[in-house]
């Protein structure tokens, strides 16, 4: 009995020493420190022209849009090399939605739905105002990242997309931002 106990103790000692030596070897006992995965939105770059997300973040009137982009987890897509044209709703545009809509959409369980709505505001390719105007002349619809299309129209001097007026246009490094006053809700959702 006592002998068994002694052997048990010794075996434990054996393993503890073995373990200690392995820990000493591993510099902390585990795998080397792994950095948290990060994407292109984390790149530090104060030399290049600002990309769509950097521009949006710099304007307080886009705070809801930026929050939505972050809630949907699509930051890396918005800084992606693109090119992309974003129709960016102002905070006031989100305020026009039925009460509680934004609060519901930013909930984790609605991530997919939110992302879908956001993609409806993005046209892959460069669409400066001149090209949008040409779309009217050449009768081209605007293909959105949601898979749907939007119509570009002219109402007097105003350039309209999906029925809402383009208030202002900004060139960004990976495309264009056109400021709009309404959220473009995809017709089927």
Quickly count: other Cβ atoms within 10 Å of residue 48's Cβ.
10
* Closest to other proteins by CB, 34 or 187: 34
Query: CA 184 → CA 17, 19, 20, 31, 164, distances in Å?
Result: 65, 60, 61, 47, 8
Q: Is 6 in the site for other proteins (CB under 8 A)?
A: yes
Q: Is 58 in the site for other proteins (CB under 8 A)?
A: no
Q: Is 51 in the site for other proteins (CB under 8 A)?
A: yes
Q: Is 81 in the site for other proteins (CB under 8 A)?
A: yes
CA torsion through residues 66, 68, 71, 76, sign = negative
Q: Which of 149, 96, 102, 95 is nearest to 122 (CA)?
A: 149
> Binders of other proteins among 112-131, rule CB under 8 A?
124-126, 128, 130-131
- For other proteins, the binding residues (CB under 8 A) are 3, 6-7, 10-11, 13-14, 17-18, 20-22, 24-27, 32-35, 37-38, 43, 45, 47-49, 51, 80-84, 124-126, 128, 130-131, 134, 173-175
């Amino acid at each position: 009995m006592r002998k068994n106990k002694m052997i048990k103790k010794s075996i434990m000692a054996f393993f503890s020493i073995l373990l200690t030596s392995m820990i000493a070897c591993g510099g902390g006992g585990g795998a080397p420190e792994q950095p948290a995965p990060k994407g292109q939105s984390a790149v530090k770059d104060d030399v290049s022209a600002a990309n769509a997300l950097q521009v949006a973040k710099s304007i307080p009137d886009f705070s809801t849009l930026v929050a939505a982009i972050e809630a949907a987890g699509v930051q890396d897509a918005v800084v992606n090399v693109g090119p992309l044209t974003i129709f960016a709703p102002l905070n006031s545009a989100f305020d026009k939605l039925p009460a509680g809509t934004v609060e519901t959409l930013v909930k984790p369980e609605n991530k997919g739905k939110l992302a879908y709505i956001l993609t409806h505001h993005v046209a892959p390719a460069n669409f400066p105002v001149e090209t949008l105007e040409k779309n009217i002349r050449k009768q081209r619809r605007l293909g959105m990242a949601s898979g749907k299309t939007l119509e570009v129209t002219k109402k007097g001097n105003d350039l309209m997309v999906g029925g809402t007026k383009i208030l202002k246009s900004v060139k960004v490094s990976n495309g264009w931002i056109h400021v709009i006053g309404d959220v473009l809700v995809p017709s089927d959702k």
